[in-house]
């Protein structure tokens, strides 16, 4: 158990719908990262938040958005869903502070999204 939690574990929805994925980082971690894993694209970085602010953006579609709340949990919103959005969505969190030698990214269990 990495200490990172994600809900829900599974999500089945229809094209055109909107869903929200939730992530709670490890206690004390300020950074949250979202990744998408599909068979054809591998593990792709979507977006990073650090202490409530957007820090970096990857290949995230305009239909997708995210935020990090004051309690540091994060939500990834996916709208106007398409079949191709079916994938595993992982969040990860990392310890922050002083470019520490201990810093690394720990992954949550993921949310499996199936768009029908």
Which region, judged by CB under 8 A, interacts with other proteins, from 14-22, 53-61, 68-76, 79-87? 53-61
Buried residues in 21-34 as b, exposed as e (16+ CB within 10 A): bebbbbeebbbbbb
Tracing tokens 């792709």 back to the chain, one arrives at: 44
CA dihedral 9, 55, 41, 113 (to 10 degrees): 20
Which of 19, 21, 24, 48 contacts other proteins by CB under 8 A?
Answer: 48
For other proteins, the closer of residues 16 and 100 by Cβ is: 100
Which region, judged by CB under 8 A, interacts with other proteins, from 20-28, 36-44, 63-71, 77-85? 36-44
Burial class (CB in 10 A: 0-12, 13-18, 19+), 107: middle
Which of 13, 26, 45, 65 contacts other proteins by CB under 8 A?
Answer: 45
Q: Tell me the site size for other proteins, rule CB under 8 A.
A: 31
Which region, judged by CB under 8 A, interacts with other proteins, from 11-19, 20-28, 61-69, 104-112? 104-112
């Amino acid at each position: 158990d990495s200490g990172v939690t994600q809900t829900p574990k599974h999500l089945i929805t229809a094209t055109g719908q909107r869903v929200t994925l939730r992530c709670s980082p490890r206690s004390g971690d300020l950074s949250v990262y979202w990744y998408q894993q599909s068979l054809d694209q591998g593990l792709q970085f979507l977006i990073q938040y650090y202490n409530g602010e957007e820090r970096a953006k990857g290949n995230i579609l305009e239909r997708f958005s995210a935020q990090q709340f004051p309690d540091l949990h994060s939500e990834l919103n996916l709208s106007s869903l398409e079949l191709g959005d079916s994938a595993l969505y992982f969040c990860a969190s990392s310890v922050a502070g002083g470019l520490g030698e201990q810093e690394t990214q720990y992954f949550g269990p993921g949310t499996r999204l199936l768009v029908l």
